[in-house]
Amino acid sequence: MNLILKILGYLYLCAVVQCVHQVSWLPCQFIDEHVFVNEEGHTETELLHREAMLQFGRLGDSPVNPHATTFLVTGSKLDLRRYVQGVEAEQLECELRRYSTDGIHVRWPVKGAMEYNHWFSCTVRHTNGLFTVTSFLRHPSDQTHPGQQDYRNWPAIGDREILITTVAMVIKTQSASIRAGLGSQQKLHCQFDVDHKGPNITLEWHWQNRGERIRLFSHNSRSGQSQGTGVRLKSLTGGDASYSLPFIKMSSEGTYICSVSVIPLFVSLDIGLQIEEPPRVSLNVGPTLSLQEGGEQKVACEAESYYPLDVQIVWNVQDLAVSGQRVGTPLPKVLQNILLSSHKHNQDKTYSLTAFFYLTVSLKDSGREFTCIVSHQSLRMPIRKSFILTVEEPISWMFYLTVGFVLVTLVPILCVLLRYLHSARKRSVQKKPY
């Protein structure tokens, strides 16, 4: 009984560890800035890549990596780990930067906050693009506000320094890049949270493409006012600012920017949306093509209505008759003399392209399989369409010669025979007088 309980206990523990697989530290690249005025009097920024560690814990914890700068994230209402949960630490890329509040100084409205804060932005990306999480780390300081742009006066951070921080704001997207088919419906994921109640949040969605920028939606939590559509206000209060696109058109392509601002913080996430339409592939001949020896046929493979432009069409030929007999099947050969039509622009802005060749057949081509292979970025596997060629022997000249010879020799004989018969009958009629 005791043993069973123990085993159950272990199983439970394992399950918990599995479910709440949380990182307790994350190696980060700290992109520090050295801001200075150059010889011409311009402000220049030099970026310094430094080793850092994002460590989750409590005040007084010893650093995991004593040789790096440690950003110790202590508890707040926001748990950054929840946003990167369920993946291995090796799959995460972490980047820390100083964040300038552009001279705006406000007291951060949480209990025990000091007058002045140093801000850092921390971006954690999943290496396979599953999500991007950007958070703001607040490092309280008793230093008085210097009254000038903070980046002109960045306090030095030592190589082994431990900075005590809390997470003040988080924004996350699970759809950093989207490939969508025409006419489909898409949801652009954006989620945020702030560490205090009733924050004054302004949320906006913008769309941007080729120098054009349009505001799609905006909402302020204090005034309760919204402009535009696409975001469900009910979900917004829970931190879900996802934007819905009910019907994807060619003009939907572009970058969608979800931005959240709580003064003095501003953060935005880009979501790229690319239209992808797979080609429809067809041949101008059926699955079997039979031709007479010496016959000619134009064979075309058309890839229709695809987007974006780049498509690859290859024609292969394989000798099935031979492959059935030998042990080593001959590999398909790529046909060389393929002609391509120019790209056709369709009305819906998709493209079409035809790859064709002229087939002149001889008897040895019979039983060959011709395959058109179309590759496009929208396809996981290329589309293949094939036909099998059968070649029939033409009625040969020997046949005609034989038939001709027979006719030429038989007809005179027949004539002679007929005439003989006729005269024989005449004679017999004359000889019978009764």
Ligand X SMILES: *[C@@H]1O[C@H](CO)[C@@H](O)[C@H](O)[C@H]1NC(C)=O
- Residues contributing to the site for ligand X (CB under 6 A): 200, 202, 222, 261, 263
Q: Which is nearer to ligand X, 91 or 200 (CB)?
A: 200
CB of 259 to ligand X, least distance (A): 11
What's CA 77's distance to the chain center, in Å?
A: 35
CB of 133 to ligand X, least distance (A): 23
Residue 27: closest CA among 99, 76, 90, 85: 90
CB of 122 to ligand X, least distance (A): 22
Q: Which is nearer to ligand X, 109 or 140 (CB)?
A: 109
**Alpha carbon distance 394, 220 (integer Å):** 82
Paired tokens of 321:
């008759």
Q: Which is nearer to ligand X, 202 or 323 (CB)?
A: 202
Which amino acid makes up residue 229? Answer: T
CB of 117 to ligand X, least distance (A): 18
Q: Which is nearer to ligand X, 38 or 225 (CB)?
A: 225
Q: Which is nearer to ligand X, 219 or 368 (CB)?
A: 219
Residue 260: closest CA among 281, 286, 236: 236
Residue-wise DSSP of 381-429: S-EEEEEEEEEEPPPPHHHHHHHHHHHHHHHHHHHHHHHHHHHHHHHHH
Q: What letter would DSSP give residue 307?
A: B
CB of 206 to ligand X, least distance (A): 16
CB of 201 to ligand X, least distance (A): 8
Closest residue to ligand X, based on beta-carbon distance: 200
Residue-wise DSSP of 51-72: EEEEEE--TTPPPSSTTSEEEE
CB of 222 to ligand X, least distance (A): 4
**Alpha carbon distance 331, 377 (integer Å):** 25
Q: What are 54's strand-pairing partners?
A: 26, 71
Instruction: State in Å, rounded, how far the first CA of the chain is from the last one.
Output: 137
CB of 221 to ligand X, least distance (A): 8
**Alpha carbon distance 33, 61 (integer Å):** 27
Largest pairwise CA distance in the chain? 158
**Alpha carbon distance 189, 349 (integer Å):** 27
Paired tokens of 79:
């748990």
The angle formed by the CA atoms of residues 143, 147 and 151, to the nearest 5 degrees, is 80
Q: Which is nearer to ligand X, 6 or 222 (CB)?
A: 222
CB atoms within 10 A of CB 134: 21
Paired tokens of 9:
């206990």
Q: Which is nearer to ligand X, 204 or 253 (CB)?
A: 204
Q: Which is nearer to ligand X, 218 or 375 (CB)?
A: 218
**Alpha carbon distance 2, 92 (integer Å):** 41
CB of 220 to ligand X, least distance (A): 6
Question: 264: cis peptide before it, omega within 30°?
Answer: yes
CB of 103 to ligand X, least distance (A): 15
CB of 235 to ligand X, least distance (A): 21
Distances in Å between the alpha carbon of 370 and those of 337, 359, 375, 378? 14, 11, 16, 24
Q: Which is nearer to ligand X, 204 or 277 (CB)?
A: 204
